[in-house]
């Protein structure tokens, strides 16, 4: 899952980006509102973490501009503890949730998961296809009764494919979901990850569709 983090405080921005990456998210960090809007126009982020107190163009202005151009992707606003008016303004403009600084990191990731579930129309944090189940809260994969916590990118790969079983994702779409800007992506990185996942479970767990990409089939492999 790829997150756009908009935060002008360099210390907060870098440490939050690092913590999110360690938690298995792919993160792009930008420090001002105009760059944030550009980034939202260019890349396929799944969610935006938007600080409201930004220089020049405020977070509220970014949110308004994004919603005006029909950008409906989930946004969680980061507000000051006492910023109740801007919090209300943000929610009224279509933010999906807010979290007040300073916040507990685990609370933030729980809110991210909750917002993504609502957005995807899932009631629970479980995604299933055939014999395979992903628990997004614990990053646990269960296959034919055996559960384990998967290494970050293998989990992210399965998460991307299992958001909609049966739907094909191209190499570019998968790379987009798995890697942030400026990250070196080896040309065979996706193939290697798919190889690991197949070896771990079953070779048919991720199906290749020639010339198009990959998918997780809806039924049991
Ligand atoms: Ca700020």
Q: What per-residue confidence (pLDDT) applies to 120?
A: 77
204 CA → ligand 1 middle, Å: 47
**Token match 């790969």: residue?**
157
Distance CA 217, CA 206 (A): 7
Q: Backbone phi, then psi, for 212, in 5-degree steps?
A: -115, -45
- Whether the per-residue pLDDT at 42 is higher than 80: the answer is yes
Determine if the peptide bond prior to 102 is cis (ω within 30°).
Answer: yes
114 CA → ligand 1 middle, Å: 24
198 CA → ligand 1 middle, Å: 43
11 CA → ligand 1 middle, Å: 11
Across 116-123, average pLDDT: 78
Distance CA 13, CA 210 (A): 40
Q: What per-residue confidence (pLDDT) applies to 200?
A: 94
30 CA → ligand 1 middle, Å: 12
| R_g over Cα of the chain | 18
- Whether the per-residue pLDDT at 57 is higher than 60: the answer is yes
Across 96-109, average pLDDT: 95
Distance CA 15, CA 119 (A): 27
- Whether the per-residue pLDDT at 54 is higher than 90: the answer is yes
34 CA → ligand 1 middle, Å: 14
φ/ψ bin of 144: left (φ > 0), alpha (ψ from -120 to 50), beta (otherwise): left
Across 54-77, average pLDDT: 95
110 CA → ligand 1 middle, Å: 22
* 162-188 pLDDT tens trace: 988 999 999 999 998 888 877 888 889
54 CA → ligand 1 middle, Å: 5
CA distances from 18 to 12, 14, 101, 130 (A): 10, 6, 17, 34
172 CA → ligand 1 middle, Å: 33
Across 12-41, average pLDDT: 95
80 CA → ligand 1 middle, Å: 9
206 CA → ligand 1 middle, Å: 42
8 CA → ligand 1 middle, Å: 5
Distance CA 217, CA 162 (A): 9
């Amino acid at each position: 899952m790829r997150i756009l983090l908009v935060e002008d405080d360099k210390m907060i921005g870098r440490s939050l980006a690092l913590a999110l990456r360690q938690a298995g998210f792919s993160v792009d960090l930008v420090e001002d509102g105009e760059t944030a809007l550009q980034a939202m126009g260019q890349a396929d982020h799944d969610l935006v973490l938007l600080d409201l107190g930004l220089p020049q163009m405020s977070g509220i202005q970014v949110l308004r501009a994004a919603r005006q151009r029909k950008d409906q992707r989930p946004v969680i606003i980061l507000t000051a503890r006492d910023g109740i008016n801007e919090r209300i303004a943000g929610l009224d403009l279509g933010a999906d949730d807010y979290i007040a600084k300073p916040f507990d990191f685990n609370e933030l990731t729980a809110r991210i998961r909750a917002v993504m579930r609502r957005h995807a129309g899932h009631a629970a944090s479980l995604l299933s296809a055939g014999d395979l189940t992903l628990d997004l809260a614990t990053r646990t994969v269960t296959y034919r009764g055996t559960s384990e916590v998967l290494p970050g990118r293998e989990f992210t790969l399965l998460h991307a494919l299992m958001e909609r079983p049966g739907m094909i994702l191209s190499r570019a779409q998968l790379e987009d979901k798995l890697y942030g800007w400026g990250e070196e992506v080896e040309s065979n990185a996706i193939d290697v990850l798919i190889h690991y996942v197949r070896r771990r479970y079953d070779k048919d767990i991720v199906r290749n569709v020639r010339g198009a990409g990959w998918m997780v089939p809806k039924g049991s492999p």
